[in-house]
Structure 1
Amino acid sequence: MKLTLGFSPCPNDTFIFDALIHQKIDTEGLTFEVCFDDVETLNQKAMNGVLDITKLSFHAFAYAADKYALLDAGSALGFGVGPLLISKKYTPESLIVELEKGNVDLRVGIPGKYTTANFLMGIAYPQLQNKQEMVFSEIESALLNGQIDLGLIIHENRFTYQDKGLTKIVDLGDYWEKLTGCAIPLGGIVINRSLDITVQQKVNRLIRKSVEYAFANPKSSIDFIRKHAQAMDEAVMYKHIELYVNQYSIDLGVDGRKAIDTLFNLALEKNLIPAVQKDLYV
């Protein structure tokens, strides 16, 4: 049985899925047709039900939960892993001054409307509404050439922005942790509800095995990771993996599910997402 599988070319995803798609583990008769896309493209595909299995932002999951259920394996949650709001022009103090003066037209580059990063910024800075969607890897350049005033960065850019003379305004992951006491839910792996439940459970089991294999053999996937990492320095690649792949990627557990439920409940309270009618989990 062949299933379509979508994930990003970022090191955390290629690290997680290498053993699965290259059959370094027993895939129990399943094969996978892989689709690489940036997170917002994956979000859009999920909302349209395009793939059998896909990575998506938890924010976007609210709009795709009628079609997909969340697997316990493969998610990106953690502490100290949140998106950052950065700037070339402003410091944290000068931004407060601008907002107090009523200057809410500041141009903000975001990595996608349905990213969890954008949701968190909406909680922390609801007045910032002049948003420009762009590919996450282009946000730093847009700040440097004056296209935007503020940038919301995710993934490996959190390791590179300082080298380019950019300033952190706020770590939105830290903001979330202080607000809720929970790990921050960034992205999850969901599977189409139309697939038989035994297939759903098998895929969950295989992704868990793939993550466990990756942890046990961390150098096994290096060629695959490097191939898709856009000439990223190897040390940065492994920092990226350490940040986003952890025990929650093996199994959400009670704490992981609590963090996701807290995110959805808070978003519903603030009318940021529609009510979800189905159980989130496989």
Structure 2
Amino acid sequence: MNNELNIAFSPCPNDTFVFHAWAHGLVADAPALNVMYADIDITNGLAADGTGPEVLKISYAALPWVLENYRLLPCGGALGRGCGPLVLTGNGPLAVRRPAGLAGRRIAVPSERSTAYLLFRLWAAQNVPGGVGEIVVMPFDEIMPAVRDGKIDAGLVIHEARFTYSSYGLNLLTDLGSWWEEDTGLPIPLGAIIARRDLDAEAISGWIRSSLQYAWDHPTDSRDYVLSHAQELSPEVAKSHIDLYVNEFSMNLGDSGYEAITSLLTRAADEGLVPAIDPELLR
């Protein structure tokens, strides 16, 4: 493996927390990281068209399009409980107040190949008779202001929006994570770390785990790095974000993690939302 490895992940606190040690040369024997910080919609596209770096953070929903060239790594990503995407609406007199009210409405989403959007489509198939109207893709940090300002009828939000949506005066229509967990009993697969199949996946996984363990052992060392990329989040919100999205699944997906991923993608393929996958390619 070369002395430098190209990687793309989001500037969100969970990613910068996990990769801080490796990005700062604190992981023994690991190559230097050349980091590209990018929104998940961008990394999903880079992986799908083959122009991305050797290692990327993408949505689990994007895996069916990239598994031929990329391998899912068993660590470093985001999967858990109580951390799912939210569907938010405004609080005006014409605001949507129940799921059926989304029929024919304009909905903003962070990516059409995001896990959030996949969960939304599975949920909407059960709860929105006739289906929603126009889907508008926006960077996730623009969605809540657009809902607040009435530019769209509802927004699908992820990450720290869970902790901040009330400050925009928005209404929680549904928590898709709670819906998924009640429906399946499984954790929610959100973001995956993938590596090109011609690379040493075991070595890369070891470096990621070492970086994560360093972060857990030295929780304040990454603070400045995390906050410098956290899009003006307060230290308290950044910490809440990390505590929610960085967990035991970040160290090792384990059997329940792989079961959740397989269930999500198989169910989505059965609905015609993603291409069918060979479960053997996930490990």
Q: TM-score range by the shorter chain?
A: over 0.9
C-alpha spacing 1:144/1:29, structure 2 compared with 1 (3 Å): closer
Shift of 1:181: 0.3
Secondary structure of the corresponding residue to residue 155 of structure 1: coil
Q: Percent identity?
A: 37
Match of 1:161 in 2: 165
What is the rounded CA distance, in whole Å, between the counterparts of 1:114 and 1:82 in structure 2?
16
Match of 2:27 in 1: 25
Match of 2:107 in 1: 108
Match of 1:79 in 2: 81
Please give the residue correspondences for 1:139-158 in structure 2 after superposition, counting only pairs within 5 Å: 139-158=143-162
Q: Could you list the per-position Cα deviations for residues 29-77 of structure 1 after superposition, in whole angstroms to 9, with x for gaps in the alignment?
A: 5222111000110110111222100000000111111111111110201
Q: Tell me which amino acid in the other structure corresponds to 1:153.
A: V
Secondary structure of the corresponding residue to residue 21 of structure 2: helix
Q: Could you list the per-position Cα deviations for residues 65-121 of structure 1 after superposition, in whole angstroms to 9, with x for gaps in the alignment?
A: 11111111102011100000000047998334535xxxx220101001001000001
Match of 1:98 in 2: 101
Using the size of structure 2 for normalisation, the TM-score is 0.93
Query: Could you tell me whether the CA contact under 8 Å between 2:145 and 2:168 is conserved in 1?
Result: no
Find out whether 1:45 has 2:70 as its counterpart. no
Match of 2:246 in 1: 245
C-alpha spacing 1:95/1:227, structure 2 compared with 1 (3 Å): same
Query: Could you tell me whether the CA contact under 8 Å between 2:11 and 2:38 is conserved in 1?
Result: yes
C-alpha spacing 1:96/1:255, structure 2 compared with 1 (3 Å): closer
C-alpha spacing 1:97/1:10, structure 2 compared with 1 (3 Å): closer
Please give the residue correspondences for 1:174-213 in structure 2 after superposition, counting only pairs within 5 Å: 174-195=178-199, 199-213=200-214
What is the rounded CA distance, in whole Å, between the counterparts of 1:4 and 1:107 in structure 2?
37
Match of 2:56 in 1: 54
Shift of 1:277: 4.3
C-alpha spacing 1:125/1:92, structure 2 compared with 1 (3 Å): farther
Secondary structure of the corresponding residue to residue 132 of structure 1: strand
Query: Could you tell me whether the CA contact under 8 Å between 2:9 and 2:15 is conserved in 1?
Result: yes
C-alpha spacing 1:145/1:33, structure 2 compared with 1 (3 Å): same
What is the rounded CA distance, in whole Å, between the counterparts of 1:135 and 1:229 in structure 2?
14
Secondary structure of the corresponding residue to residue 279 of structure 1: helix
What is the rounded CA distance, in whole Å, between the counterparts of 1:37 and 1:94 in structure 2?
33
Two-structure CA RMSD over aligned residues (Å):
1.7
What is the rounded CA distance, in whole Å, between the counterparts of 2:37 and 2:221 in structure 1?
20
Ranges in structure 1 where 5+ consecutive residues have no aligned partner: none
What is the rounded CA distance, in whole Å, between the counterparts of 1:70 and 1:118 in structure 2?
20
Query: Could you tell me whether the CA contact under 8 Å between 2:89 and 2:96 is conserved in 1?
Result: no
C-alpha spacing 1:278/1:77, structure 2 compared with 1 (3 Å): closer
Match of 2:128 in 1: none
What is the rounded CA distance, in whole Å, between the counterparts of 1:278 and 1:166 in structure 2?
39
Match of 2:15 in 1: 13
C-alpha spacing 1:80/1:165, structure 2 compared with 1 (3 Å): same
Secondary structure of the corresponding residue to residue 86 of structure 1: strand
Secondary structure of the corresponding residue to residue 180 of structure 2: helix
Match of 1:170 in 2: 174
Secondary structure of the corresponding residue to residue 125 of structure 1: helix
What is the rounded CA distance, in whole Å, between the counterparts of 2:180 and 2:193 in structure 1?
21
Query: Could you tell me whether the CA contact under 8 Å between 2:97 and 2:173 is conserved in 1?
Result: no
Match of 2:275 in 1: 274
Q: Please say which of residues 241-250 and 45-54 is displaced more in the overlay.
A: 45-54
